[in-house]
């Protein structure tokens, strides 16, 4: 890969990916928002990490689902 010293631990991980990452985030935000142990006053946010750019991309609709009451 990069040529420098690195760990090969990732070679043995079964990477589980989502077929529809945006929908997976929306489902997770909704699940957290409706969990009885999460206070309604705490906003829940949903982002996807872009490994190429290093940026967090907010998922459309996550803010509305996770808004604080």
pLDDT tens per residue, range 13-58: 887 889 999 999 999 999 999 999 999 999 999 999 998 999 999 9
Q: What three-state secondary structure class fits 45?
A: coil
Grade residue 11 by pLDDT with cuts at 50, 70 and 90: confident
Instruction: Report the distance separating Cα 30 and Cα 39, nearest Å.
Output: 13
Who has greater pLDDT, 8 or 67?
Answer: 67
Phi-psi region of 54 (alpha: psi -120 to 50; beta: other; left: phi over 0): left
**pLDDT at 38 (0 to 100):** 97
């Amino acid at each position: 890969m990069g040529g420098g010293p690195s760990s090969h631990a990732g070679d043995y991980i079964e990477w589980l990916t989502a077929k529809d990452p945006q929908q997976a985030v929306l489902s997770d935000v909704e699940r957290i928002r409706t969990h009885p142990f999460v206070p309604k006053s705490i906003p829940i946010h949903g982002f996807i990490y872009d490994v190429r750019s290093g940026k967090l991309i907010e998922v459309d609709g996550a803010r509305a689902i996770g808004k604080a009451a």
